[in-house]
Amino acid sequence: MIGAQILIESLKREGVEVIFGYPGGQVLPILDKLYDADLKFVLVRHEQGAAHAADGYARATGKPGVCLATSGPGATNLVTGIATAYMDSVPMVAITGQVKSFLIGNDAFQEADVTGITRPITKHNYLVKDAKDLARTVREAFYIASSGRPGPVLIDIPSDIQMQETEFIWPETVEIRSYKPTLFGHPGQIKKACKLISQAKKPILYVGGGVITSGAHLVLRELAEKIQAPVTWTLMGIGAFPATHKLSLGMLGMHGTAYANHAIMEADLIIAVGARFDDRVTGRIDSFAPNAKVLHIDIDPSSISKNIRVDVPVVGDAKNILGEILEELKKLPDISEWLKTVEDWKKKHPLRYKDEGIIKPQFVIEQLYEATKGEAIITTEVGQNQMWAAQYYKYDYPRTFISSGGLGTMGFGLPAAIGAKVAHPEKTVIDIAGDGSIQMNIQELATCVCNKINVKVVILNNGYLGMVRQWQELFYKKRYSQVCITAPDFVKLAESYGAFGIHVTKKEDVRAAIDKALEIDNTVLIDCRIEPEENVFPMVPAGEAINKMISGLA
Amino acid sequence: MKHTISVLVENKFGVLARVAGLFSARGYNIASLAVSETLEPSISYMTIVVEAKDEAILEQIKKQLNKLIDVISVTDFTKKEHVDRELILVKVDYSPKYKAKLEKLFKKYVGKIIQKKGCTAIIEAVGDQKQIRGLLESLSEFGIKELVKTGRVALGH
Ligand SMILES: Cc1ncc(C[n+]2csc(CCOP(=O)(O)OP(=O)(O)O)c2C)c(N)n1
Ligand SMILES: [Mg+2]
């Protein structure tokens, strides 16, 4: 077999069903073999779209997403998408063509040092110099991408290697002596963890994306119900615990709920599961949760004691460890007082907004929630739209909220929706977008229409790069610099792509537009004109303690 | 404070770049670095001297190194019995009248003249950081013209 065929054969053995990609000179042998292969290929309109689509597919399924690009500009166009996946620990395998191996280093046409460029934004990467190594490399890449703390892995394949003839030998097992993720908790640490939990009076579960990655949502729920601890989550942790559950506190941090932030600040025990105490969560670090002991469960040892001091670390897979704790935990803490306090906060400081005047974005999200009965997969762009989508839609299931958390990549939502829809054609997939972000990868509407990937895009059109405008309003004396952004007529644009466009300017038309969008068997874009200067509240100013929120409401 | 750590890595193309990249990306300082193949040719041994403000940063450095797929193991010599050595080559002014003085020095430190040319000599010396510093201080009276130093290598039990 030639290298290109070995690659495709190996991808199939890894259970790959779809590749998101874009052609070019240095992947011609692969494209040629794809011509006959029964592998779905989604041709995007920009390689960044391919990377985000593979990412969206991975987040929606838990399986590694695969993207393909040619050398040089094709590969560099993947970079933002790879970095996005890396920051959010998303399993992905990116395959790039490279100039012929004997030309590497010669500044050949469309040559870029792609392994060099992507080294800091991949979990690992490979430059394949012999077709004999290809099958093993693919095997390792999928193993590394999807095990431990997942992440993107890139395989750079020179075009002569794609043509090189060699025997195809599929390694049945994969063994990397230098890579052995810890999966089970240390028994001694589990005991200590249980002791902390038993002694707590004001415990809180603080959960992140790791719970979803590990498939620990059900055990998490069991533990929360067993000890009756309230649960708060990070942006990445949305869906790890049912938002409609009575123990749920919603998201915490910079735009978290007031009650979640109060609760974590007052807690005497933080049970952190698959979350990394990011600065958007902790606010000012030296005043974060001053009275709390910290129990930190994470598969990545380097996440532990990185930002805050941890009392009891347990390294391993969240699902295993929570199971081990459930089994070991005998004495339950008495926390009825604490729950009452938390309930009071919930009543006193609910999420709210003034529903008056023109369309409020929060109202749109609430309508989306009702219209989809909370059963849709929501992807988001970045900015205010993302925060409103996080705050006002209630996610009861994992893998239903897909958003760029760590990197905050504008332009993520539409291609990620494509990936999610390809993974779950039976589900409604909606990109909640901003008028700025959507313009960063709007070309992917063509991908949707051509491939009948019927996603719905709801643009919360405020005419601004709203989140930046909000900061300028609050912290730069309303000097709006470079944030007033124009847009094309989105409805006409959607139509010219062959999608369906709906324009909404009145509150009373919002629901009808959504219902219509859900009904139409096509990609639909709703351009929803919202209050231009609506802000996301609550808000913790950067560098403040997280209970020092501004609410914006009198 | 400076800490000496050793790292066993896969002897593969790009591994040094991964390690170096990790330090620069996270703003850690490498004071010195020595790399060589081990008896097992598929493994390289790195001795890295790092600067870390506190224990927590040192911990992070070790964890981040361990996270690299090609890193097999990390050993921290901070609280571990070990020996370490550096090697220097020093070019000094030389005239036969210094001979006795130098010989006396070489009784105290492990060093020797390895090359003489005209009125300069190149001295080779091996020792731990303190010995090397001591020798250099003593040599300064001969007028050090040039100096080159290897990274530290360390081995523990
Ligand atoms: C690629 C990229 N560039 C710049 C930013 C900085 N940024 C964060 S939010 C934002 C504004 C987004 O505007 P829009 O998509 O209209 O969303 P809104 O906040 O108005 O809902 C910008 C520019 C970013 N996150 N990503
Ligand atoms: Mg906007």
Candidates A117, A178, A296: best to mutate against B (most CBs of B within 10 A) is A178
Residue A178 is assigned to a structural domain of this protein: no
Considering the domain architecture, whether residues B31 and B54 belong to the same structural domain is answered as yes
Q: What is the pLDDT of residue B25?
A: 92
Considering the domain architecture, whether residues B48 and B96 belong to the same structural domain is answered as no
Give the residue numbers spanning the domain of A314: 187-348
Question: What is the layout of strands, in order, in the sheet containing A203-207?
Answer: A248-251, A231-233, A203-207, A269-273, A293-298, A312-315
Cα torsion A527, A528, A534, A535: sign: negative
Considering the domain architecture, whether residues A423 and A450 belong to the same structural domain is answered as yes
Residues 6+ apart with CB under 8 A from A492: A501
Task: Using the predicted structure, report yes or no on whether residue A177 has a pLDDT greater than 50.
Answer: yes
Q: What is the pLDDT of residue A554?
A: 47
Residue A537 is assigned to a structural domain of this protein: no
Residue where a domain stops, chosen among B27, B57, B76: B76
Considering the domain architecture, whether residues A211 and A126 belong to the same structural domain is answered as no
The CATH number of the domain holding residue A367 is 3.40.50.970
Task: Using the predicted structure, report yes or no on whether residue A501 has a pLDDT greater than 70.
Answer: yes
Considering the domain architecture, whether residues A12 and A138 belong to the same structural domain is answered as yes
Identify the DSSP state of A545: B
How many Å lie between the alpha carbon of B83 and the closest alpha carbon of chain A? 26
Give pLDDT tens digits for A413-451: 999 999 999 999 999 999 999 999 999 999 999 999 999
The CATH number of the domain holding residue B34 is 3.30.70.260
Nearest to A440 by CA among A431, A450, A430: A431
Give the residue numbers spanning the domain of B18: 2-76
Give dist(CA A494, CA B71) in Å, integer. Answer: 50
Q: If you count them, how many residues does chain A have?
A: 554
Q: Stretch A197-209: mean pLDDT, rounded? A: 97
Helix pair angle (A361-372, A507-519), 10° resolution: 40
Considering the domain architecture, whether residues B102 and B48 belong to the same structural domain is answered as no
* Helical H segments across A273-348, by residue range: 279-282, 318-328, 336-348
Q: What is the pLDDT of residue B98?
A: 82
Give dist(CA A506, CA B9) in Å, integer. Answer: 63
Q: Hey, which residues does B76 pair with through a beta bridge?
A: B5
Considering the domain architecture, whether residues A339 and A416 belong to the same structural domain is answered as no
Considering the domain architecture, whether residues A312 and A374 belong to the same structural domain is answered as no
Q: Stretch A20-38: mean pLDDT, rounded? A: 97
How many Å lie between the alpha carbon of B61 and the closest alpha carbon of chain A? 9
Q: Which of B64, B69, B71 sits opposite A302 (nearest CB)?
A: B64
Q: Side chain identity at A133, as an amino acid letter?
A: D
Q: What are phi and psi of A19, to 5 degrees?
A: -120, 135
pTM tops 0.90: yes
Considering the domain architecture, whether residues B108 and B47 belong to the same structural domain is answered as no
The residue to mutate among A255, A462, A465, A528, having the most atoms of ligand 1 within 8 angstroms of its beta carbon, is: A465
Nearest to A155 by CA among A75, A222, A37: A75
Residue A468 is assigned to a structural domain of this protein: yes
User: Tokens 């990467």 label which residue?
Assistant: A125
How many other C-beta atoms can be found within 10 angstroms of the C-beta atom of residue A132?
A: 17
Q: Hey, which residues does A156 pair with through a beta bridge?
A: A96, A127
Between A and B, how many residue pairs show a Cβ–Cβ distance under 8 A?
35
Question: What is the layout of strands, in order, in the sheet containing A92-98?
Answer: A40-43, A18-21, A65-69, A92-98, A152-158, A124-127
Q: Which of B14, B59, B64 sits opposite A115 (nearest CB)?
A: B14
Residue where a domain stops, chosen among B76, B106, B130: B76
* Largest Cα–Cα separation, chain A: 73
* Ligand 1 proximity of A409 Cβ (cutoff 6 Å): yes
Q: Which of A115, A178, A300 sits opposite B71 (nearest CB)?
A: A178
Residue where a domain stops, chosen among B26, B61, B76: B76
Q: What is the pLDDT of residue A88?
A: 98
Considering the domain architecture, whether residues A259 and A329 belong to the same structural domain is answered as yes
Give pLDDT tens digits for B14-26: 999 999 999 999 9
Give dist(CA A96, CA A357) in Å, integer. Answer: 51
Residue A242 is assigned to a structural domain of this protein: yes
- Relative to the alpha carbon of A386, which ligand is closest? 1
What domain count does chain B have?
Answer: 2
Q: Stretch A466-481: mean pLDDT, rounded? A: 97
Per-residue 3-state assignment (H helix, E strand, C coil) for A218-243: HHHHHHHHHHCCCEEECCCCCCCCCC
What domain count does chain A have?
Answer: 3
Give dist(CA A328, CA A47) in Å, integer. Answer: 49
A63: exposed, middle or buried (Cβ count in 10 Å: 0-12, 13-18, 19+): middle
pLDDT band at B100 (very low <50, low <70, confident <90, very high): confident
Q: Stretch A111-135: mean pLDDT, rounded? A: 98
Contact at 8 Å (CB) between A434 and A364? Answer: no
Q: What is the pLDDT of residue B141?
A: 85
User: For chain A, what percent of residues have pLDDT higher than 70?
Assistant: 99
User: Tokens 């838990």 label which residue?
Assistant: A62
Among A57-61, A130-134, A286-290, A436-440, the minimum mean pLDDT is found in A286-290
Considering the domain architecture, whether residues A343 and A365 belong to the same structural domain is answered as no
Output the average pLDDT for chain A. 97
The residue to mutate among A360, A379, A382, having the most atoms of ligand 1 within 8 angstroms of its beta carbon, is: A382
